């Protein structure tokens, strides 16, 4: 018996409690069998009951504590192993899912299972709305709870989403660490939740949502459980991202398949587009013209394509095409504006194709672009000729003593015939500043440069001349036999206004018979054209065209020739001709009527006829002169014409006598 064993120890000591055995021996067996924690007290109690020495008891106590610590460590390791196994199984399950909804449901179910909670749920962030919303729940019974939305920083979930850190509460309604709101608290109360653990769903450095586990009673979530749910959330975030990527990939593949189908369907159209591109390129390189482009596009598109001037194209469709920059449909036709900057040079019109393919529409637009390039190239080549035309017109206006022979030679080089009748036109854009100087436009005169360009192009197409002068443009155009200067002025105003998309006012002179023979007449005609143009602006008729004959008796003041007989004939010619044919006295009656203050009663006394005769004659006058002959403006012109007619007749009689 050992010397420290009490003699009065009751009964024989157990073998595992022998003084000769190591103090750790009894506890190793307990660790091996996985005994409960209370079993570790028995070796100490038996030793104390057997009268073991104090040193032996202290050694047993130390061994017991060490064994319990080892037991706790082993249990922790077994638990972590079980958790890791569960996480591995979760990751394996999530990796096999492809549908986003299925992934989210699996995440929430496994979170509830891992922590053994009554409820689990998941919210996702909405970047557009700036909040987070309930996406999936498991174990939830409240419809209000299932439809919650949380602003960033509101409620426990909003705080997790905002800070990207886990948060846990043992008693939700008594926790003041986060901001409570009536809406969120009502939803949580409807669900009956008390203890809640929320961990962020992190993707990279950003939060895409929050994963929750919750109970309807107070509960303390251990740090290990928080870590377990956070690890599960990490797998879940990757699974969500994978599912999203797969969904996007499937969508992209579907779109690619549709695109491939479209490419296959459009292969013939693309081939046509490639063909027309090659042909248009060849046309440009070999110096083809506008008509060549129209013919090439017509062949490719199997239709009739025509280039039209701005004034001949459908105005509404041309404006829409110019504004949109694309070909537009006009009934059964398509119109593509040919433009350079803000200037419309014309249009390509494809006829008889109401349902044009988008690629073919683009082909027509490309052809319009090539046409504009060709026109600009032709314009550039013609600018030198335009300058020559402008210099010739400047000499006609400024140097009346020029040698007619030299003028004719210079005109012949640009295709003009200065021995034919011409008309001088003064044009100005509405609202454009008037300059007292002559010569080319100043660098800041963008509007005048555009006007000069359009006027020069128009003059070249009509074998005339154009120049910049006095803040506007002056044109010298041939006048066809029997041509009317007023009609020419209106036509030019319309053509320039269409080309420039702003009102252009044009005044015309009387015909100049042969500018080369009498250069001074050109300057006088230009002065008359300017007076007509300014008269239009003063009368509120900007944007129109007119000659002196259009202004009635005012034309006598505007015109250099003072064509009195022409004015009288235009005003009273119908009545005078009627008197000459029928032997009536309508002119005499008309003169008496105005002399008597437009009173039929006094007129019949003046003429010594019956009042009915006066009424019949005035009725005939109205049919000859028009229903407005008694309006103040017409009456004034008629009275002036009557006076001039009477003076002319008196002069004629005196000459004959």
Three-state DSSP at 222 gives: coil
19 burial (CB, 10 Å; 0-12 / 13-18 / 19+) is: middle
What interhelical angle do 54-95 and 42-49 show, nearest 10?
Answer: 170
Q: How confident is the model at residue 44 (pLDDT cuts 50, 70, 90)?
A: confident
Rounded Cα distance, 521 and 510, in Å:
10
User: Would you say residue 201 has pLDDT above 80?
Assistant: yes
Q: How confident is the model at residue 84 (pLDDT cuts 50, 70, 90)?
A: low
Q: Say if CB 230 and CB 166 are below 8 A apart.
A: yes
Q: What is the distance between the terminal CA atoms of the chain, rounded to a whole angstrom?
A: 188
Q: Say if CB 507 and CB 531 are below 8 A apart.
A: yes
DSSP letters for 186-198: HHHHHHT--EEEE
Rounded Cα distance, 475 and 422, in Å:
10
Rounded Cα distance, 211 and 168, in Å:
12
Q: Could you tell me the CA-to-CA distances from 580 to 10, 522, 638 in Å, in that order? A: 173, 38, 18
**For 280-287, what is the mean pLDDT?**
69
- What Rg value do the Cα atoms of the chain yield, rounded? 53
User: Would you say residue 435 has pLDDT above 50?
Assistant: no
Residue 576 CB neighbours (<10 A): 17
pLDDT tens track for 483-508: 888 889 889 888 888 888 889 998 88
Provide the H-helix boundaries in 539-609.
554-558, 564-582, 586-595, 600-607
Rounded Cα distance, 227 and 223, in Å:
6
Q: How confident is the model at residue 310 (pLDDT cuts 50, 70, 90)?
A: confident
Percentage of the chain lying above the pLDDT 70 cut: 79
Rounded Cα distance, 293 and 68, in Å:
98
Residue 150's beta-bridge partner residues? Answer: 132
pTM over cut 0.75: no
DSSP letters for 87-152: HHHHHHHHHT--SHHHHHHHHHHHHHHHHT-SEEEEEEEETTTTEEEEEEEES---HHHHT-EEET
- Tokens 């200067």 label which residue? 485
């Amino acid at each position: 018996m050992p010397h420290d064993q009490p003699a009065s120890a009751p009964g024989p000591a157990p073998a595992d409690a022998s003084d000769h055995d190591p103090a750790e021996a009894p506890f190793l067996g307990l660790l091996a069998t996985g005994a409960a924690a209370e079993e570790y007290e028995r070796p100490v109690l038996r030793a104390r009951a057997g009268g073991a020495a104090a040193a032996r008891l202290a050694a047993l106590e130390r061994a017991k504590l060490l064994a319990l610590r080892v037991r706790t460590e082993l249990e922790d390791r077994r638990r972590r192993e079980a958790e890791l196994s569960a996480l591995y199984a979760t990751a394996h399950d999530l990796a096999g899912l492809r549908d986003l909804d299925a992934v989210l449901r699996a995440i929430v179910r496994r979170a509830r299972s891992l922590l053994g909670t009554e409820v689990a749920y998941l919210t996702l962030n909405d970047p557009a709305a700036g909040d987070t919303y309930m996406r999936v729940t498991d174990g939830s019974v409240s419809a209000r709870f299932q439809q919650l939305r949380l602003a960033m920083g509101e409620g426990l979930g909003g705080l997790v989403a905002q800070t990207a850190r886990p948060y846990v509460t043992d008693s939700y309604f008594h926790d003041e660490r986060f901001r409570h709101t009536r809406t969120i608290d009502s939803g949580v109360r409807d669900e009956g939740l008390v203890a809640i653990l929320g961990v962020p769903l992190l993707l990279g450095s950003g939060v895409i949502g929050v994963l929750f586990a919750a109970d309807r009673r107070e509960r303390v979530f251990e740090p290990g459980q928080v870590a377990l749910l956070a690890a599960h959330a990490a797998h879940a975030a990757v699974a969500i991202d994978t599912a999203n990527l797969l969904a996007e990939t499937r969508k992209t593949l579907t779109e690619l398949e549709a695109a491939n189908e479209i490419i296959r369907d459009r292969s013939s159209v693309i081939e046509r587009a490639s063909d027309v591109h090659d042909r248009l390129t060849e046309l440009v390189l070999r110096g083809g013209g506008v008509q060549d482009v129209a013919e090439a596009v017509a062949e490719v598109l199997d239709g009739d394509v025509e280039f039209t001037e701005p004034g001949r194209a459908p105005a509404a469709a041309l404006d829409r095409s110019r504004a949109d920059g694309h070909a537009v449909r006009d009934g059964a036709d398509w119109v593509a504006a040919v433009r350079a900057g803000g200037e419309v040079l014309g249009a390509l019109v494809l006829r008889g194709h109401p349902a044009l393919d988008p690629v073919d529409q683009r082909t027509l637009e490309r052809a319009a672009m090539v046409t504009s390039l060709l026109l600009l190239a032709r314009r550039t080549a013609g600018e030198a000729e335009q300058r020559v035309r402008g210099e010739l017109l400047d000499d006609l206006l400024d140097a009346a003593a020029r040698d007619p022979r030299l003028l004719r030679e210079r005109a012949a080089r640009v295709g003009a015939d200065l021995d034919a009748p011409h008309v001088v036109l003064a044009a100005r854009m509405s609202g454009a500043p008037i300059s007292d100087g002559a010569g080319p436009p100043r660098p800041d005169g963008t509007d005048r440069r555009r006007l000069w360009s359009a006027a020069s192009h128009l003059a070249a197409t009509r074998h005339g001349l154009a120049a910049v002068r006095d803040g506007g443009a002056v044109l010298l155009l041939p006048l066809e036999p029997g041509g009317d200067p007023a009609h020419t002025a209106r036509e030019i105003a319309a053509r320039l206004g269409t080309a420039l998309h702003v009102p252009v006012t044009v005044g015309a002179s009387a015909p100049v018979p042969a500018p080369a023979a009498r250069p001074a007449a050109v300057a006088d005609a230009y002065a008359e054209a300017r007076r007509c143009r300014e008269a239009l602006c003063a009368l509120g008729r900007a944007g129109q065209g007119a000659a002196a004959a259009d202004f009635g008796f005012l034309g006598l003041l505007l015109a250099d020739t003072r064509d009195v007989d022409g004015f009288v004939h235009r005003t009273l010619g119908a009545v005078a001709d009627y008197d000459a044919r029928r032997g009536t006295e309508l002119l005499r009656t008309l003169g008496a009527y105005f002399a008597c203050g437009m009173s039929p009663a006094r007129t019949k006394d003046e003429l010594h006829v019956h009042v009915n005769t006066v009424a019949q004659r005035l009725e005939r006058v109205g049919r000859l002169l028009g229903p407005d002959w008694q309006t103040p403006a017409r009456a004034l012109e008629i009275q002036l014409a009557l006076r001039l007619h009477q003076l002319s007749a008196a002069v004629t009689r005196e000459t004959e006598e």
